[in-house]
Structure 1
Amino acid sequence: MHFISEQRLDDGVLAREFTLGEIPGTLWTPESDVPVPLILMAHNNGLPKREPRLVARARHSAAHGHAVATIDAAGCGDRPRSAADEQARADIRRAMQAGEPVDEIFESFIGPLVEKAAPEWRTTLDALLSLPGIGGPVGYSGWMALGIRLAVADPRIAAAGFFAGGYVPRAQREEARQVTVPLLLLLQWDDEGNPRQRALDLFDAFGTEEKTLHANTGGHTGTPWFEVEDGDRFFGRHLK
């Protein structure tokens, strides 16, 4: 892991850009004399790590005592997209504009994204936990399809906060039954692109004994800011 820039922000948080091989990422750390827990914060593929909502969430969590890291997955941010990725995105836009079913297109597109992204996140986690000042436990926040895979595959994940927006491939819907860590699921009740009942069914399928659902009115990007604060309290309970 090579740090390529750093900036001390006005809330005392240190923001550092890094590269790990071809993986670009950002790490936010609070001022602390002891090692701090870590939150992996992943956006749905297609949004860059500099996306303002993600950066705001990361800074808030870091200011409340957690190290927070995010990376750009393949085809995201500054990383080049393959011709197949571009075609899949074009097919999704065309089908949505025409009012046609999109599930099979999403299935063929999102499934491979999860398969590619999960190993990169685990490699990044290895590197992060070797840094001074980061001691674990580890939480995960964000993209649900990827988070399900990581929560099942990596025993270092101790708690997870998922956003219900976004397509979850069939493989991850089945894996949800194996998720046993404490879970907080955020659902936008009026999310225009994600069927409400599918999210409710998935919440019911999670195998953990400790799971909480927060549902708010509004569309896909309307998650209230107080959910960020509640999320930090959730991670504070389970990572300290």
Structure 2
Amino acid sequence: MEFTSEQRLDDGVLEREFTLGEIPGVLWTPGSAPGPSPAPAPLILIGHNGGLHKRESRLVARARHSAAKYGYAVAAVDAPGHGERPRSAADEQVRADLRRAKEAGEPIEEILDALIVPLVERAVPEWQATLDALLSLPEIGGPVGYSGMTAIGIRLAVVEPRISAAGFFAGGFVPRALREEARQVTIPLLFLLQWDDEGNDRQLALDLFDAFGSKEKTLHANLGGHAGTPWFEVDDGNRFFDRHLK
């Protein structure tokens, strides 16, 4: 891991951009209080939804709030084909097929499968490599939580034993194979659903919540569209992580 920039923000949070091979990311860590060196911070991996950037404004606001108010180290990376990372010819073709199908009013589930399944296959090992690097830093000690895209989060929760709790956003498409994998997710889970999400099948989201194998799982449903998740859910999410990471 190589840090490429560093700045202390006005809330005391230290923001550092990094690269890990071809993976670009950002790490936010809480400001240090006077006195003895603080204990290593627990870590939250914060994953953007499809098409977004590691510096998308809502993601950055959540990350800084978690670091400044709750004392977490928070990391975000650009997923393959997102943000600063180039898209392959196959990525571009699938996206073109998706646009065409939407314009023609044709079924899009198989096309979304072709877009998201390869993304998950590539992104999860990258998150694991990023986790290895982050946990080698003296200021980060775990435990580790994940907050973000459901499709990636399901696979990560299944294969990565260092993830102790997860918060998922129900607004992204989850391929059928990953909906089946959800039965293997057993860590504590917070699932956020926008009741009027114009791009999300509400019943599929409710069925997915039912499928998760976690003994402790909580569903928060709020009125409003896809990007209308209330800010208070950020604090509720941090309190959820407090219960399981501290």
One-letter amino acid of the counterpart of residue 137, structure 1: P
- Runs of 5+ consecutive residues of structure 2 not aligned to the other structure: 33-37
In the alignment, which residue of structure 2 is the partner of 1:43? 48
Tell me if 1:114 matches 2:149: no
Instruction: Tell whether 2:61 aligns with 1:53.
Output: no
CA contact (8 A) 2:50 2:172 kept: no
Tell me the distance in 1 between the aligned counterparts of 2:218 and 2:155: 19
CA displacement 1:139-176 (0-9 Å, x = unmatched)? 00000000000101000000000000111112211111
- The count of residues paired between Structure 1 and Structure 2 equals 240
For the pair 1:24 / 2:21, whether they are aligned, the reply is no
User: Which residue type is aligned with residue 98 of structure 2?
Assistant: I
In 2, Cα distance between the equivalents of 1:219 and 1:204? 22
* Aligned position for 2:182: 176
1:99 shift after superposition: 2.3
Q: Distance in 1 between matches of 2:230 and 2:106?
A: 30
Of 146, 149, 160, 1:154 maps to 160
SS of residue matched to 2:238: helix
Structure 2 counterparts to residues 45-194 of structure 1, below 5 A = 45-63=50-68, 64-194=70-200
Cα distance in 2 for partners of 1:104, 1:196 equals 19
Identity %: 77
CA distance in 2, matches of 1:190, 1:91: 26
Q: 1:8 and 1:117 mapped to 2: Cα distance?
A: 29
RMSD: 0.8
Give me the whole-angstrom Cα distance separating, in 2, the residues matched to 1:92 and 1:188.
Answer: 23
Unaligned runs of 5+ in 1: none
Residue 97 of structure 1, CA deviation: 2.7
Large movers: runs of 4+ above 3 Å: none
CA distance in 2, matches of 1:121, 1:45: 15
The structural deviation recorded for 1:41 is 0.3
Q: Secondary structure in 2 aligned to 1:91?
A: helix
Between the aligned partners of 1:45 and 1:193, the Cα distance in structure 2 is 13
Q: Which residue identity lines up with residue 10 of structure 1 in the other structure?
A: D
Secondary structure of the corresponding residue to residue 137 of structure 1: strand
TM-score, normalisation: structure 2? 0.96
